[in-house]
Amino acid sequence: MKYNIGVVIWLTGLPCSGKTTLAIEIEKYFKYKNKSIQRLDGDIVRKTICNDLGFSKEDRDKNIQRIVYIAQMLSENGVNVVSAFVSPYREMREFAKSICAEVVEIYVKCDIEICRQRDIKGMYKKADMGEIDNFTGVQDPFEKPLNAEIIVNTGKESIEESLDKIVNYLSDKYEI
């Protein structure tokens, strides 16, 4: 590490684009390299710190806000963070950059049709049928990053290829 603070690796992308899969691989890589890492994703925070929140715009924003503050605390104490949330709104991703000192924004790009094929929980279908509201990609917009530091195309690349891109970038910039 060039810095005494942790890096916040912020994955953003459509539901089922592969964010959590990649976050788990990134987590494994950091652990293998004996570096600190805290993974933050829906499975973790929605059972704990955000267990009172739903998926309305207001609740999504609150969810991201809390995650950003947690990422700030962790990274200020030298802990690296990888976060995997749809985080569809540019404003909230900019908020993360304004609060945390070192954020690497990664756009997990994937064609929505491929996301739908991967959707083992059938969430896209439920959203189509109106059983889920505020679903990103169906009722709600996904605002693509304008200046992501890394773009991985999980519809075309293998997980290993996407991970390589990320790891190469991080090791060049932060000596991780």
Nearer to its own copies, 16 or 176 (CB): 176
Nearer to its own copies, 53 or 114 (CB): 53
**Contact footprint for its own copies (CB under 8 A):** 36, 38, 48-49, 52, 62, 65-66, 69-70, 73-74, 76-79
- Work out the number of other CB atoms within 10 angstroms of the CB of residue 59: 14
Q: How many residues does the chain have?
A: 176
Nearer to its own copies, 6 or 88 (CB): 6
For the chain, the distance separating the N- and C-terminal CA atoms, rounded to the nearest angstrom, is 6
Write down the catalytic residue from 87, 158, 162, 171: 87
CA nearest to 87, candidates 100, 106, 113: 106
Least distance CB 98 / its own copies (angstroms): 13
Q: What is d(CA 146, CA 148) in angstroms, rounded to the nearest whole number? A: 6
Give me the amino acid identity at 77.
N
Active site residue 87: yes
Least distance CB 111 / its own copies (angstroms): 34
- Catalytic residue annotation: 87
